[in-house]
Amino acid sequence: MSERSGRLVYHNGTFVDELDARISIYDSALMFGDMVFEMTRSFNKKQFKLKQHIDRLFHGIKILEIPINISPEELEKICFETIEKNEHLFLDDDEHRLMINVSRGPLGIYSHLFENGAEPTVIVSDFPLRWTVSTFAKYYEKGINSVITSQRAIPASLMDPKIKNRSRMWYQMANIEASKVKGNDNWALLLDTDGFIAEGTGDNFFIIKDGKIYTPEGRNILRGISRDYIFELAEQLNIECYEKNIEPYDVYLADEAFLTGTPFCILPTTYLNGKEIGNGKMGKITENLLDKWSQNVDLDIMKQIRSYYVEPEKNNIKQAPSPYQFKG
């Protein structure tokens, strides 16, 4: 039996041990992937852009018509309460990684089985950031090989990816495909239905050419919080930053490329389908962006992730060539 960590999870109005947090087998999240979610991180134990994450969550709740009975302000308070209840279990150098999940709750046909009927499910959990990034340090030296998969991004006309939801099978299939490529540093990169670069399966994509930053237009992607922050950093550094349609051809000819995501902020992409981008190393502008981000949050992000590094064979969590594990 697994040893209990003592971490508490907010679950529909109460705090319970994380191993006791359960959703019903009749929950719409399980039946249909009918759930919106957000994942955050802290710097020096201070949450980064939590309000923006919560705002995006509630945009999805509104569009999907989930009848939640708490406000964004109340959810923000719950997040901080969750952190407070777990802080004593975190090491001094740990960061808080919140996971917020909201589903429609049990399907109406099963509502008679529940005392309060079919109410939405709201869960807020808190775990150490190091779990996610414990093997990422190597990417600052060698970078990531982005692999364009046959699995395409789902267009907004079918299921708008700007709503961060748990219906993510296309991401899973792309990860499975990328994990079959030789090597252990392959992350999936999806094209949209027109053949332009869209996004990764948990990250946004950027290239740098002639001193300017470019990222795919926001039509068929999740508009990441970290993606948006790059525009802020670029303005602070007086670097031009644009949205545009990007073809694989453009990536091959780029000077630099990088990915953004909440847990790692920025990671260099040094290869596309095994072909070198630029000089095959983290580029100067990518490094400047990461340095500026570190300066703004008063924490050396690269140094922190390096300090979390654990050799895969010594890590209790199996590591993968993508954000998810599909081969040992």
Mean pLDDT of 105-131: 88
The pLDDT of residue 159 is: 86
Predicted local distance difference test score (pLDDT) of residue 325: 47
pLDDT at 116: 74
Domains of the chain: 8-128 (3.30.470.10), 136-314 (3.20.10.10)
> What value does the mean pLDDT of the chain take?
92
Nearest to 71 by CA among 33, 122, 106: 122
The pLDDT of residue 2 is 60
Give the span between the Cα atoms of 69 and 77, in whole angstroms: 14
Q: Which two tokens stand for residue 120?
A: 């939405």
Predicted local distance difference test score (pLDDT) of residue 318: 52
CA 316, 201, 78, 134 dihedral sign is positive
pLDDT computed for residue 69 by the predictor: 93
pLDDT at site 321: 42
pTM, two decimals, is 0.93
Which residues, listed in sequence order, are joined to residue 125 by a DSSP beta bridge? 99
Average pLDDT over residues 292-306: 98
What are the pLDDT digits (tens) for 16-30?
Answer: 999 999 889 999 999
